[in-house]
Structure 1
Amino acid sequence: MADGHAQSRSITSAALLVEFAVGRGLAAADLLRHTGIRERDLIDAAAEISLAQELALMRNVVAGVGDEPGMGLMAGLLCHPPSLGVLGFALMSCPTVREAVDLALRYADLSFTVARHHLVVTGDDVSIIRDDSGVPADLRRFAVERDVAAIWTIQRDVMPLRPPITRVAVAFPPHPVYEMFGAVLGVEEVVFDAQRSVLTGPSSIQKLPLPQANVATARFYERQCAELLQRRKHRQGVSVRVRHLLIACGGIADQSHIAAELDISVRTLRRRLADEGTTFRELSTETVGLLAEEFLVTGMTVEQAAQRLGYASVSAFTSAFRAWKGQPPGQFARENRGRIAARSATRP
């Protein structure tokens, strides 16, 4: 997932996550701890972060608000078309529902989702099928919930009638909150313990015209979407490139090695990072922390994670991890893998 973790994303999704958690009594500073995201970045519409940073923030949000069913649904209700910037305006200007869906899928990298989706039409049904294999297991439920609620909210804002979602399938056990939310959404059927998450509606809805349709405006904003995506792919700041290289190196690299990879001097590297408001030490610590969490969540032992990250001893790794997360790595691994196992154990 190195490439995915290093890709640039808008700050908007992260800002909405912080808004949701702050609304539940958490402090922004705690939510942003060890993410490399600064509070002032959250109000900068032009700011960009990596997927790894957003996942780290999401993990802090889940830990802070409590990993209970329904939390992601409430977070997703904060997502509206204007929050998506040019993509949101492009969606609202599309002539039909199908063109809006195609646009959203084509420019998914500009949206709030951390997963992949594709459209399937079968007879009288049209479905949006989710692939969250790239999302850490401990965050999948929250991420799925947020995306389902956000898709519904955005559809409601864009369409002249209640979004006709007839069936929702989720890869989680039954819970009363899902039944309640399904009733609010007007969903006819909710399927639990599915192999994958799917939103289904009548295929006839694809031809429905949108009330703010304007072909010229839609084309204008779609060009802006394409240009923005292209700029993000080719205009990465030095800090983003450093994170990418650190992840590729498993977090084990010094300044001279990274500077050589970037074909610049160590002095130039330091100056450019300072211009972006960070240091190599901060980026290295942040990256190692993110990798440590991912290693432990996905099943590595504390000893294996320490060795993988180049620590001379388990005790040194434990001390560093305690400084990052406020708890020893063994406890973090047990708590997070325990939640994953508990969810998996209830599936057939």
Structure 2
Amino acid sequence: MNEPAQVRAINGVALLADYAVTRGLAMPDILRGTGIREQQLQDPNAEISLDQELRLTRNVVTGVHNEPGLGLMAGLLCHPPSFGVLGFAVMSSPTLRHAADIGVRYADLWFTIARHALVEHGDELWLIRDDHGVPADLRRFSLERDFSAIATIQQDLVPMKVPTLRVEVTVEPHPVYEMFATMLGVDKITFGQPRSLMAWQRNTLDVPLPQANTATARFYEQQCADIVQRRRSRDGVSGRVRDLLIRHGGVTDQSRIAADMDISVRTLRRRLADEGTTFRELSNETIGMLAEELLVAGLTVENVADRLGYSSVSAFTAAFRSWKGQPPGHFARVHRGRAIARV
């Protein structure tokens, strides 16, 4: 059975289409075979599948003849306000490090089609890129665009160039990449490496952002989380897992869910990781939702704890408090009788 397509924000391809137009491509050629309508590109709330994004990216890369360095120019168009709630969450973050954490956590709301991870390595912080999910014919353009966009966004956030210790990339050297080094604020780029990464001194990313606002950052981060959760609830492997968890009343393990889906536990873990989640996260989310529904419906805390398979009321109470920031008894008194809608 084919898995439902991964849902993506349209912002990244909208900017890519704008770039392609500046390179002389016509919109019908940019959108050919994607199923994306031109008016969708103007709707910041529109969503597309990963396959549609890859098709449009391939149209652009083919149309500009895939020359080295063209992705660098595409990345220059990536500015935080173009990415809606994620852009505002990044802009209002307290520090550059926090902004980077948010950007990596909600990558599907950005411009990138690769996976990135922030890893502390001694006194250094590494941004490690994994582009195994990017088709081979798009990897160079995608890498150029992503690293150029990171440098562009960093300069938008703070009025100074944060020094980069080193940059390693999988692509081979080319004269145009002298501009790449200047753009990234690094003396030298090491080419032909098995993986791509950027490295900074950890403390250099502790620089405060001029538009920092804790309340605003929390608000937009929650908006990002809500968008991601809505997508997980209806699409992909995570949506199927959530449905099966609900069918089992939340009381089951991943081996049973994997068996229901006729796949191995290892495959289930890998596919969930590809969608940016884990079985534990989905299980906790689903149990939390079921707990809310049962409490609203009038069941006692003891009954809910028993129905959801908790060994004790205290264990359930501790878990519920971690989800909702309040004990289940208080939640039940406030919300009893109200409808809790599933997203």
Per the normalisation by structure 2, the TM-score is 0.66
Query: Does the 8 Å contact 1:152/1:163 carry over to 2?
Result: no
Whole-angstrom CA distance in 1 between matches of 2:111 and 2:15: 9
How do 1:252-331 residues align onto structure 2 when only pairs under 5 Å count? none
How do 1:1-348 residues align onto structure 2 when only pairs under 5 Å count? 6-235=5-234
Q: Structure 1 residues 94 and 133 mapped into 2: Cα distance closer, same or farther (>3 Å)?
A: same
Q: Report the residue type matching 1:72 in the other structure.
A: G
Q: Report the residue type matching 1:234 in the other structure.
A: S
Query: Does the 8 Å contact 1:92/1:210 carry over to 2?
Result: yes
Whole-angstrom CA distance in 2 between matches of 1:128 and 1:184: 16
Query: Does the 8 Å contact 2:5/2:235 carry over to 1?
Result: no
Bigger relative contact order, structure 1 or 2 (CA pairs below 8 A, ≥6 apart)? 1
Q: Which residue of 2 aligns with 1:306?
A: none
Query: Does the 8 Å contact 1:81/1:88 carry over to 2?
Result: yes
The share of aligned pairs that are identical, in percent, is 60
Q: Structure 1 residues 7 and 158 mapped into 2: Cα distance closer, same or farther (>3 Å)?
A: same
Q: Deviation per CA, 1:21-76, whole angstroms, max 9, x where unpaired?
A: 11011101111000111111111111110010000001110110011110111111
SS at match of 1:168: strand
Q: Structure 1 residues 158 and 178 mapped into 2: Cα distance closer, same or farther (>3 Å)?
A: same
Q: Which residue of 2 aligns with 1:277?
A: none
> How far 1:162 sits from its partner (Å)?
1.0
Q: Structure 1 residues 135 and 168 mapped into 2: Cα distance closer, same or farther (>3 Å)?
A: same
SS at match of 1:113: coil
Unaligned runs of 5+ in 1: 242-348
Query: Does the 8 Å contact 2:151/2:183 carry over to 1?
Result: no
Query: Does the 8 Å contact 2:8/2:109 carry over to 1?
Result: yes
Q: Structure 1 residues 109 and 158 mapped into 2: Cα distance closer, same or farther (>3 Å)?
A: same
Aligned residues: 237
> How far 1:89 sits from its partner (Å)?
0.4
> Cα RMSD over matched residues?
1.9
Q: Deviation per CA, 1:217-242, whole angstroms, max 9, x where unpaired?
A: 110111111111112223569xxx9x
Q: Structure 1 residues 104 and 94 mapped into 2: Cα distance closer, same or farther (>3 Å)?
A: same
Q: Structure 1 residues 173 and 4 mapped into 2: Cα distance closer, same or farther (>3 Å)?
A: farther
> How far 1:5 sits from its partner (Å)?
7.7
Q: Deviation per CA, 1:72-110, whole angstroms, max 9, x where unpaired?
A: 111111000011110110011111122111111111121
SS at match of 1:172: coil
Q: Report the residue type matching 2:117 in the other structure.
A: H
Q: Deviation per CA, 1:115-152, whole angstroms, max 9, x where unpaired?
A: 11111222332110000001101100011111000111
Q: Report the residue type matching 2:21 in the other structure.
A: V
Whole-angstrom CA distance in 2 between matches of 1:119 and 1:47: 28
> How far 1:158 sits from its partner (Å)?
0.8
Per the normalisation by structure 1, the TM-score is 0.65
> How far 1:211 sits from its partner (Å)?
1.0
SS at match of 1:176: coil
Task: Indicate the structure (1 or 2) with the bigger Cα radius of gyration.
Answer: 2
